[in-house]
Amino acid sequence: MSNKARGSGAPPQSLSRALLALLLCAAAFAQDRALERVELRVSSIGTDAAVTVDRGRSDGLAIGDRVLFYPVGGGTYTGTVLSVDDRSAVVELHDRKVVPAAGTRGEVLIPLERLAREEKEERAKEQAKAKPVPEHPPWENKDEGFTPDQPLLAKMKPVRPEDRPGRLSGRAYFIGEAIQGSEADLDSINLRGGFDALYENLMGTGGDLRVNAELDYFTNVDDTEDMNLLVRWFSYVHGGNRFESTRWEVGRFLQYGMPEFEIIDGGEWGHRRTNGHRYGVSAGFMPELDQDFQSFIDFQAAAYYQWVSGPREELTVTVGFQQTWHQGDLDRDLLVVKFRRMPMKGWDFTGTIWLDFYTNDDNIKSGVDVTQAVLTANKRYLDGSGFTVTYQHIEYPELLRQGEFTPITAAEIADNRMDKLATNFWWWVREGAQVHGYVSGWIDEQDEGGAAELGIEVRDLLVRNSRFDITGFGGIGNHEYTGGGRISYGLYEARGFWEVFYEYSLHHEYAFPNNLDDIQQHRIRVSGGLYLPSGFDVSFYVETRVWDVEFTWVLGLTLQKSF
C-alpha cells in the first residue's frame, strides 16, 4: 500500500461549495408532483448496464420513467425505463459501474393521473364483463344506419394511431462522474450528454421514430482522453398495438421479442395471434457493446415463439434461437428458454436459461453447455412482507466475437464458472418497521464462499417519509473474512429524495502468511434527487472510500429534462 500524503486527494474548496449548493437544492424541495411509487424487483441482468424488472405496462410503467434501486451493498441508485413489455421492463442504470443483482428491491415513480386512467379503464372492462347488457327499448331516434340491437356509440370509431396528431416526447440528459484519488492512476472523468426521443405517428401512417444518441467523454488511466458519438437507438417501428397485431422495426434497437439477443442494426418482424401467442424473426449486425459501438463485424439471425396462458398473461414461456457469424464465419448457436409466472396473487417465478451448442469447428467446448441461467422465485404477502430466492450460473461461452468480454484464455473458457444461490427477505414486524436480510453461497472453479446480512429499517423516524436503516454483514471468500456494518438515513418523497450513508468493514486476509494486518475500509455516500414541476430532474451523489492509507473521492451528477 502507498504511504503518500493523505491530503493529496482532498477535494478543492470549489468542490465543497458545489456540494453544499447541491445539498441546499435538495433540501429546498419544489412543489409536490402527483407521483406514485410502485415496488419492483430485478428479475435478470442484461448487458450495457441494463436490468430487467418484474413490472411493466400493465402496472403503469412507460418509457422514460425514473427508477430507484436499493442494492444489498447499500445506497440508492437511479435508472430510466428503456423499454416496456406488458409484464416487464428494461431499465438503464445511470451509474454504469453498479448493476443490481437479481432480486434487488426498487421503486418506480409513476404519475398518478396515468395510474388513475388505467385503473378506470380496467374497472370499466370488469364491470362490462360482470353486468349483462340490459335489453334496450325501441329506438325513437330515426337516424339511418342504426338498428335496435346496436349500442349507442356503435358508429363511433376509435382513434387509430395514424389518426392521432404527431407528437414528440422524450428526455435530454447529462450524466457526469469525476473520481479523484490519493494515487494518480485512480483519477478519471466520465461525461455523457445526449437525448432519448420518441416521435409518434411520424409520417401519418401510425409508425414511431425512436432515437437515443449521446456524446461521451472520458479519461483513461494513462492520462489519454477519448470522445465518442454513440447512437444507441435509431429505429422506426410500426404496429404491435390493439389495431394491428403485426409489428416490425428497422434500424438500431434492442430486440423487442428477445431482448437477450441484444442490440442489432437490422430489422425485426413479429406477430401476435388471436390467442395471444407471439412469434417473430430478426436479422442484422450486432454492434459491440463497448465505448465505440463498432458494427458490421458480427451478423445474427434469430427467431422466437412465445406461449401465453390467457389474456392476463400470468404464465408465459418463450423459446428463441440465435445464429451468429463473425466476419463471415459461423460463430454462436444460442438457444434461450425463459418463463414467467406472475399471477395476481401468490408466487412469482421467472427464469432464463442460455444454452450454447458447440460443433466440431469449436476447439475448447463440445456438445450443449448452459452458459448462463437465472432462476428467481418471489413471494409477496398482503402486509408487504416477502422474500426472493435466486439461483445464478455463469460461465464463458466459446466465441469468435470478443468485443463484449475481456480477453480470456482457453483454460478460463474451459474451466471458469460460478454458481450462486441467494435469498433476500423483508418482514414488517409492525407498521413502519421492517426487518430485512440477505444470505448467499457461491462456488466457482477454485473455491467457495458466502455472505450474510441482517438489518432493520424504520419508516417516518423524526420526519415523515423518512427511512432509517442499520445493517450488519459478514462474508467469507477465497482469501479473506469480511465483517462490518452500515447505517443510512434518507427522505423519499414524490418531489425528490436525499440520503446519507456510512459503511465500515474489516477485511482479514488468511491466505497470505506474510500479510497479517487487518485492513479497514470506510465508505461515506451522500445522494439526492430533485424532481421539478417543469420536468427537470436533478440527482447527485458524493462518495468517498478510504482503504488502508489510500482513498478516493467520487462526484456524480445526473440532469435530465422531460419534454
For the segment 381-437, what is each residue's pLDDT rounded down to a tens digit?
Answer: 888 888 889 999 999 999 998 755 566 788 888 888 999 999 989 899 998 999 999
pLDDT bin (cut points 50, 70, 90) of residue 129 is low
DSSP labels for 253-293? EE-SS-GGG-EEEEEEEEEE-TTS-EEEEEEEE---SSSS-
Domains, the chain: 31-127 (2.40.10.340)
- Residue 554 falls in which region: left (phi positive, over 0), alpha (psi -120 to 50) or beta: beta
pLDDT at 457 over 90: yes
pLDDT at 127 over 60: no
Average pLDDT, the chain: 83
Q: Are 369 and 355 in contact (CB under 8 A)?
A: yes
Cell of 402: 470478443
Distance of CA 273 to CAs 58, 87, 235, 248, 262, Å? 19, 18, 24, 15, 24
Question: Which pLDDT score, from 0 to 100, does residue 144 have?
Answer: 57
pLDDT at 13 over 70: no
**Is the overall model pTM greater than 0.85, yes or no?**
no
Q: Are 525 and 543 in contact (CB under 8 A)?
A: yes
pLDDT at 92 over 60: yes
516-555 pLDDT, tens digit each:
678 899 999 999 988 887 778 899 999 999 988 788 999 9
Average pLDDT on 472-496 reads 89
Closest CA to 196 of 227, 164, 173: 173
| Low-confidence winner among 16-30, 68-82, 192-206 (lowest mean pLDDT) | 16-30
95-107 pLDDT, tens digit each:
777 778 777 888 8
Cell of 517: 494486518
pLDDT at 15 over 50: no
Cell of 112: 398518478
Question: Which pLDDT score, from 0 to 100, does residue 22 have?
Answer: 45
- Helix or strand holding residue 294 (H, E): none
Question: Which pLDDT score, from 0 to 100, does residue 317 have?
Answer: 96
| Low-confidence winner among 31-45, 379-393, 499-513 (lowest mean pLDDT) | 31-45
Question: Counting Cβ atoms within 10 Å, is residue 376 exposed (0-12), middle (13-18) or buried (19+)?
Answer: buried
Cell of 93: 442504470
- Residues of the chain with pLDDT > 90, as a percent, come to 42
DSSP labels for 422-473? EEEEEEEEETTEEEEEEEEEEEESS-EEEEEEEEEEEESSSSTTEEEEEEEE
Q: Is 7 helix (H, G, I), strand (E, B) or coil?
A: helix
Give the count of beta carbons closer than 10 Å to the beta carbon of residue 480.
18
pLDDT at 507 over 50: yes
Question: Which pLDDT score, from 0 to 100, does residue 115 have?
Answer: 66
Cell of 461: 423516524
Cell of 455: 438489518
pLDDT at 308 over 90: yes
Q: Are 105 and 39 in contact (CB under 8 A)?
A: yes
| Low-confidence winner among 60-69, 250-259, 260-269, 331-340 (lowest mean pLDDT) | 60-69
338-364 pLDDT, tens digit each:
998 878 777 888 899 999 999 988 889
- Contacts of residue 359, defined as CB under 8 A and 6 or more positions apart, other chains included, come to 333
284-302 pLDDT, tens digit each:
999 987 777 889 999 999 9
C-alpha span between 296 and 214 (Å, rounded): 20
pLDDT bin (cut points 50, 70, 90) of residue 24 is very low
Identity of the amino acid at 279: Y
Question: Which pLDDT score, from 0 to 100, does residue 536 have?
Answer: 85
Q: How far does CA 105 lie from the centroid of its chain?
A: 11
pLDDT bin (cut points 50, 70, 90) of residue 29 is very low
More confident of the two residues 447 and 270:
270
- Helix or strand holding residue 525 (H, E): strand 519-531
pLDDT at 441 over 90: yes
Closest CA to 236 of 273, 272, 197: 197
Question: Counting Cβ atoms within 10 Å, is residue 503 exposed (0-12), middle (13-18) or buried (19+)?
Answer: buried
Hey, which of 3-12, 128-137, 306-315 has the most confident mean pLDDT?
Answer: 306-315
309-340 pLDDT, tens digit each:
988 788 999 999 999 999 999 999 999 999 98
Query: In sequence order, what are the beta bridge partners of 216?
Result: 192, 228
Question: Which pLDDT score, from 0 to 100, does residue 515 have?
Answer: 58
Question: Which pLDDT score, from 0 to 100, does residue 9 have?
Answer: 40
Q: Are 197 and 208 in contact (CB under 8 A)?
A: no
- Residue 328 falls in which region: left (phi positive, over 0), alpha (psi -120 to 50) or beta: left
Question: Counting Cβ atoms within 10 Å, is residue 382 exposed (0-12), middle (13-18) or buried (19+)?
Answer: exposed
C-alpha span between 374 and 469 (Å, rounded): 29
Closest CA to 296 of 256, 325, 271, 270: 325
Question: Which pLDDT score, from 0 to 100, does residue 56 have?
Answer: 85
More confident of the two residues 18 and 62:
62
pLDDT at 11 over 90: no
